[in-house]
Structure 1
Amino acid sequence: MICRLCPRNCGAKRTETVSGGVCAMPALPVAARAMLHRWEEPCLTGEHGAGTVFFSGCNLRCVFCQNAPISQEGAGRPVTVSRLREIFHELIAQGAACLDLVTPTHFTLSILEALGEEPWPVPVVWNSGGYEKPETLRLLEGRVQVYLPDLKYALPGPAEMYSGAADYFDRASAAILEMFRQTGPYRMEGGLLKSGVLIRHLILPGELENTRRCIDWVAETFRPGEVLFSLMSQYTPQPGAEGRLGRHVTRAEYRAAAEYMANCGIADGYTQERTSAREEYTPEFDMRGI
C-alpha cells in the first residue's frame, strides 16, 4: 500500500513485510503486549480491566513518550489478522470491559479486517494520539463505539518542538469533531462507557498555557454531557530529558490546571492523582498475550 492513512501523508510504501513512513511499520500489525490493563479511566476498566492491545509504531514522535520502546524503537511482534482477532476473543474471555486498541491508526485496515462486520460484546475503543484524518476515521464508523483521543497541544510551538507536528491542533480538533459526529453524546451503563468520546490531555511541565488553551477548546466546542475529559498528571521524565521536560509536573501546576478546568465548566470527566506519575504504571512490553 502507498500509505496516506494519517496527516503525515508521507506516501510511504508499506507491505506485509516492508516497513515505511513516519510510523516505520509494515502494513500488517505489529504489537508488543495484550493484557487486562487496570490503569485506564475507571469507565473503561470495569472489574477486570480494559482488554488492551499495545500496537508498535506511531505517527507522532513525542520526545516524552513513555512507550518509546514500542512507539519509536520498533519493539514488537508481527501478528496476522486472524491472530489479532483471536487476541480480541482471548481478552474478552478474560473479562475485559472493552477492547482497547492503543496507537492503532497506521494499522487501520488490518484492524477493521480483524474486527469484521459483526458486533462485539464489549465496546471497541480507538485509543490514539489524536493526530488523525477524518477520512480515515470515517472508515471506522459503526465499528468503533468509543474514541479515546489525546488532545496534546493547542499551540503550534510545543507541538512542533515535542512531537514534530506544528499542525497538531488543526488535525486533532477536526478529528475529534468527526469522532463526536459518529458517536454522539457519551453513554454510560453501570458506570462503564458504552459509546462516546473521552478526550485526554497530559499536562506538560512548564506548558500551562498550552493546557489552558486545550481546555478552552473543549469547553467552547462541547456542551455538558456531550464528551468526557481526562486531565492527566502522569508525565514522567524520560532518559536524557532536559530543560522543562527534565522534571515532573508540580503540585501547583496541576492544581492550577484542575481549577481552570472546573472554572471552564468541564465537570464530566476525570482528574488524576499526581502519584500516577510513576514508571511502574507503564507495562512491560514483553510480547505476552501476543
Structure 2
Amino acid sequence: MLGMAAFESLYVWRKPEIRERLDWYFQVSLNRLPAKYLLCRRVPVHDELDGLTEEELWRLHDNAASEFHRIRQGIREGSISFKELMLEKPNLLDVKVALVKKMLRHCNFCRWNCRVDRTTGVKHGTCQLESATRVSSYFHHRGEELPIRGTKGSGTIFFTSCNMRCVFCQNADISHDKDNGIVFTPQMLAWAMWQLRMEGCHNINLVGGEPTIHLHTIVEAINMLRFFKETYAEAVDAKADIYYPYSLDTRNAYYEGEFNTPILWNSNMYMSGETMKILHELVDIWLPDFKFGNNKCATWLSRTPWYFETVSQNHKQIYEWGEDIVIRHLVMPGHVECCTKPVLRWIAENMPDTPVNIMDQYHPDCYCNPSDPRFDKRYSDMARYPTEEEIMESYRYARSLGINFEEITFEKSLRFHPLFFR
C-alpha cells in the first residue's frame, strides 16, 4: 500500500536512536504486530466478573497482566504465534472495563483523587465532569512529530476539559470549557477510531484537554474496536476534516483478520497509579508532556500541586516498563533555569536515550494574552514569546546532557538550521 510504504520509507525510521526506541509502535502501525488491546482479548480470566469487588477485580487484573506480558514478549520474539491464541471471555480487557466503571464511582483517575461519584452528577471534582464524555473534534493531525504524523496524519481525538488549569493554555476553548463539543458514547468513540484508521491514520491519538479524565469511555471504546459495518452519523458531526475525500481501506487496519491500530496516549501525565496500570496493557506509544521543573511553577501557572513527583514518577514508570515513548517539553518564557533545565536534567538521569521534543512554539494565550478579555496582569511575565537566546540555551543544554532530541525536535529539513549553532 502506498500509505504504508511511504510511512515506512520516512528517513526518521533509518535513525537507530528513533527506530530502536519506537519499534513496537512502528511494527503495529504497519500491521506487522498486533496492537496491545488485541492481545488483551486473548488473555483469559477464570472468573465471572459480575458481583466482584474492586479489590477482587484488581487481583484478577494483576494476574492476567502478568500473562499478557509473557504473551507479548513471545509475540515480539516470534516464539508465540498470534494465530494460535484464542479469543477469550471474560478477558483482561473486560476486567479493565469493569475496573474503570467502578473507579468512576469514586473517581481516582488522576492525582487529584477527588473520590466523587461521577455517575450521580451531585458533586463535581476538579475536572467538573460527570460520566458523559465530550469530544470537541477528531481528524487527521498533520502537525505532530514526524514518527507520529507520518504521511497520512495522526488520528487525533480531542476530548474536552482537563485536570490542570494552565494559564497559557493554547486549547483553552477545549480544556477550560467542559461543555464544549459533542457527547460521545463508547460506541461512537470506537467508530471514530475505526474511521480514522481506515482512512489511513498511523495511530489513534487520544488527547485533549486531557484524556485521563475520560478513561472509562476510552477503555470501553477500545473494547468495542472492530471492523464496523454501520455508520454513527452523530460522531461525524465532530469530524473536522469531514469534507476531505478520504477513502476507507481495510488494508490500513488489517492484522490476521482483526481490526488493528496503535493506541497513542497524549497526556499531561498527571494521573494516578491505578490509571497507569489500566493503560499499561493498552497503550502502544506514549506522548506525554513534561512541563514544569518544580512544584512552585506548576502551582502558580497551572494550579497543580504535587506536579513534579507525580509526573516524574509516571514518566519513570513508562521507561522502566520498556515502553515506546516520546517526551514533549515546552520552553516557556523566563522558565529555562527553573523548568527547562531541571526537566531535561531529570530525563538525562532517569530516562537516557528517550526521544524528546524540545518545543519552541509557546505563545501567550488565554490568561497570558494581553488582547484576550481573560488576560490577568499577574501573568504579565508570561505575555511574551521565548527569546531566541532562551531557545538556543535550551538546545545547548540538552546537547550537553546527551539527550536524544535533535531528530525529533528539528526533523530533516531543520537539522542544520543556523540558529542551532549560535
Q: Specify which of 141, 150, 153 is matched with residue 37 of structure 1.
A: 141
* Helix, strand or coil at the partner of 1:212: helix
2:262 and 2:205 map into 1 onto residues whose CA distance is 8
Instruction: Give the structure 1 partner of residue 213 of structure 2.
Output: 106
Instruction: Give the structure 2 partner of residue 90 of structure 1.
Output: 195
Instruction: Give the structure 2 partner of residue 178 of structure 1.
Output: 317
2:203 paired with 1:65: no
2:388 paired with 1:259: no
1:272 and 1:152 map into 2 onto residues whose CA distance is 19
* Helix, strand or coil at the partner of 1:23: coil
TM-score by length of 2: 0.59
Structure with greater strand share of residues: 1
Q: Which entry has the higher C-alpha Rg, 1 or 2?
A: 2
Instruction: Give the structure 2 partner of residue 145 of structure 1.
Output: 284
* Helix, strand or coil at the partner of 1:90: helix
* Helix, strand or coil at the partner of 1:12: coil
1:131 and 1:18 map into 2 onto residues whose CA distance is 24
- What are the equivalent positions in structure 2 for 1:1-290 lying under 5 Å apart? 1-15=105-119, 20-74=124-178, 75-102=180-207, 103-116=210-223, 121-182=260-321, 184=322, 196-209=324-337, 210-224=339-353, 227-238=354-365, 239=372, 240=375, 242-268=379-405, 270-271=408-409
Per-residue displacement from partner, 1:68-113 (whole Å, max 9, x unpaired)?
A: 0110122121110000000000101111011000021011122111
1:62 and 1:272 map into 2 onto residues whose CA distance is 26
Quick check: 1:19–1:25 contact (8 Å CA) kept in 2? no
1:123 and 1:212 map into 2 onto residues whose CA distance is 32
* Helix, strand or coil at the partner of 2:408: strand
Instruction: Give the structure 1 partner of residue 35 of structure 2.
Output: none
**Which segments of structure 1 move beyond 6 Å, counting only runs of 4 or more?**
16-19
2:142 and 2:120 map into 1 onto residues whose CA distance is 32
Per-residue displacement from partner, 1:119-174 (whole Å, max 9, x unpaired)?
A: 75231100001212222111112211111111111211110100111311100011
Q: Partner amino acid for 2:263?
A: V
Q: Partner amino acid for 1:233?
A: D
Q: May I ask how many residue pairs the two structures share in their alignment? A: 260
2:162 and 2:408 map into 1 onto residues whose CA distance is 26
Q: Partner amino acid for 1:256?
A: E
* Helix, strand or coil at the partner of 1:109: helix
Range with greater deviation from structure 2 (81-90 or 22-31): 22-31
In structure 1, runs of 5+ residues without a counterpart are: 186-195, 274-290
Change in CA separation of 1:27 and 1:249 when aligned onto 2, cut-off 3 Å:
same
- What percentage of aligned pairs have identical amino acids? 33
Instruction: Give the structure 1 partner of residue 19 of structure 2.
Output: none
Quick check: 1:233–1:272 contact (8 Å CA) kept in 2? no
**Structure 1 position 32, deviation (Å):** 0.2
1:65 and 1:50 map into 2 onto residues whose CA distance is 21
2:120 and 2:402 map into 1 onto residues whose CA distance is 47
2:347 and 2:260 map into 1 onto residues whose CA distance is 30
1:18 and 1:28 map into 2 onto residues whose CA distance is 14
Per-residue displacement from partner, 1:224-250 (whole Å, max 9, x unpaired)?
A: 2xx211101111111326422100111
* Helix, strand or coil at the partner of 2:325: strand
Quick check: 1:134–1:174 contact (8 Å CA) kept in 2? no
2:137 and 2:275 map into 1 onto residues whose CA distance is 25
1:15 and 1:202 map into 2 onto residues whose CA distance is 35
Range with greater deviation from structure 2 (212-221 or 118-127): 118-127
2:201 and 2:123 map into 1 onto residues whose CA distance is 31
Quick check: 1:231–1:272 contact (8 Å CA) kept in 2? no
Q: Aligned-pair RMSD on alpha carbons?
A: 1.9
Quick check: 2:114–2:126 contact (8 Å CA) kept in 1? yes
Change in CA separation of 1:13 and 1:160 when aligned onto 2, cut-off 3 Å:
same
Quick check: 1:19–1:27 contact (8 Å CA) kept in 2? no
2:216 and 2:158 map into 1 onto residues whose CA distance is 16
Range with greater deviation from structure 2 (255-264 or 132-141): 132-141
1:25 and 1:202 map into 2 onto residues whose CA distance is 27
Q: Partner amino acid for 1:111?
A: I
Per-residue displacement from partner, 1:5-61 (whole Å, max 9, x unpaired)?
A: 100011223128678211112223211000000111101011111000000011101
* Helix, strand or coil at the partner of 1:180: helix
